[in-house]
Amino acid sequence: MERTLIIFKPDCVAKKVEGEVLDRFLKNGFNLIACKMSRLNMDILKRHYCDHIEKPFFPPLADFMQSGNVIVAVLERENAIAKAREMLGPTDSSKAPKGTIRGDFGTDMRVNVCHASDSAESAEREISNFFSKEEIFG
Ligand code: CMP
């Protein structure tokens, strides 16, 4: 079993599609083992996006991620990291095929419904940034 951190981004919550997106994950064999609603601040975003802080897209990304409530979750299944990213589709929603989560609900590169961890190392770091051990029910 593998764990991945999923953030249901402000656009997902504003569109009220977080239930439908979570349902897709659950129907694809993921177990929900941790979940909370949050309003992200710069401190947690700098830790979460530590690899992107110097990139030109980081300031508008950080603004967007603070623009509304998010839901942060840990999902578990075999091959969870690759499977979640396959279900989301490419980062740029405008290039994501229909049937993928971003293809069906996303807008563009930034407004793209969900974040999902991109490696086992990132997943471990990201999960511990948002959840204590006691908050994970795996
Ligand atoms: P996410 O999975 O949250 O991880 C990093 C985020 O940065 C990514 O989704 C996009 O929302 C955003 N991102 C990555 N590359 C770009 C880019 N070239 N321009 C704008 N935003 C980007």
Segment 69-108, tens digit of pLDDT? 999 999 999 999 999 999 999 999 999 999 999 999 999 9
Instruction: Please state at what angle helix 80-88 crosses helix 120-130, rounded to 10 degrees.
Output: 90
Predicted TM-score (pTM) of this structure: 0.98
Q: Is the CB of 64 under 6 A from ligand 1?
A: no
Atom 2, ligand 1: residue with shortest CA distance: 115
* 7 CA closest ligand 1 atom index: 3
Q: Is the CB of 122 under 6 A from ligand 1?
A: no
Class in CATH terms, 2-131: alpha beta
Which residue of 100, 110, 111 sits with most ligand 1 atoms within 8 Å of its CB, as the best mutation to test the pocket?
110
pLDDT digits (tens, 9 = 90+) for 28-40: 999 999 999 999 9
- Of 69, 102, 87, 82, the C-alpha closest to 26 is 87
**Burial environment of residue 93 by CB neighbours within 10 A (0 to 12, 13 to 18, 19 or more):** buried
